[in-house]
Structure 1
Amino acid sequence: MADPELEALRKQRLAQLQMQQRGGDNAKSHEAQQEKQRQMEDMRNSILTQVLDQSARARLNTLSLGKPEKAKMVEGILLGMAQRGQLPGKMGEKELIGLLESVNQQTQKQTIVKFDRRRAALDSDDDDLE
């Protein structure tokens, strides 16, 4: 009678150990992923420091506080330009403002208002005619 109980306990313990092992692997991979992300962010910051002067860097940081998605887009553009060698030297604040204006023009959404006349025709103004 003890053999089936012992076997059940062994299986249960083995399952627990496997779960712990998987959890440990996930924790290690998560830490490795965070470390890789930190390294990428450091590399990104160092390239931006080399490409932008102080005033432009300050403007980009201010933009990232208000509109983080737009700041990431501009950072990506700057990094791409730096990798392709399209930036001859450090970019100043005026050049950055020009880049921001061009990005704003490209991403600007046009508002379209549609007026449905059929619904407007069912207005209560028609009741006055009767």
Structure 2
Amino acid sequence: MADAELEEIRRARLAQLQQQGNSQGSGQNSQDEQRKQVEAERRSAILNQILDPAAADRLGRIRLVKESRAVDIENRLIMLAQTGQLRQKVTEEQLKDLLNAIAENQRKEEEEHKIVINRRKGGWDDDDDLLDL
């Protein structure tokens, strides 16, 4: 799908949601929900274009386990697609590689922020005073 087709789908869905909101009495909450739903549909359409079925299935399983990780992966994939860095659909193996790279980066960040405490051995202790009697 081209960007123009996605935009047309988004406009049609937004119009449909606005009609539903008008018939139900529109409020700020319903408009927020409509925007969220339109955004979710837009993201879903983009992901359907850039992921092959096996990769989409794996991303769905990741979402079941950890929602935040799936959203992070989706954001990265959408960014890559929008900047033209994806030439073909992302396979399951490529998705695994991306997951491993992200996990490795997180491990490195955690190691950078790790605090190491070295305790001296052979320090003074209250029991040492008793031995000098």
Query: Structure 2: which amino acid aligns with 1:58?
Result: D
TM-score by length of 2: 0.67
**2:100 — aligned with what?**
101
**1:117 — aligned with what?**
120
Superposed CA deviations along residues 20-51 of structure 1, whole A, max 9, x for unmatched, are xxxxxxx7011101110011011101111110
Hey, what's the Cα distance between the residues in 2 that align with 1:34 and 1:85?
30
Aligned residues: 103
Distance 1:91 1:114, change over 3 A: same
Hey, what's the Cα distance between the residues in 2 that align with 1:96 and 1:42?
21
Query: Structure 2: which amino acid aligns with 1:129?
Result: L
**1:52 — aligned with what?**
51
Hey, what's the Cα distance between the residues in 2 that align with 1:79 and 1:39?
16
In structure 2, the gaps of 5 or more residues are: 1-25
Query: Structure 2: which amino acid aligns with 1:89?
Result: Q
| 1:88 has 2:75 as partner | no
Select the structure that is richer in helix. 1
What is the Cα deviation at residue 78 of structure 1?
0.2
In structure 1, the gaps of 5 or more residues are: 1-26
Superposed CA deviations along residues 93-122 of structure 1, whole A, max 9, x for unmatched, are 00111111111111122254313439x846
Hey, what's the Cα distance between the residues in 2 that align with 1:50 and 1:57?
10
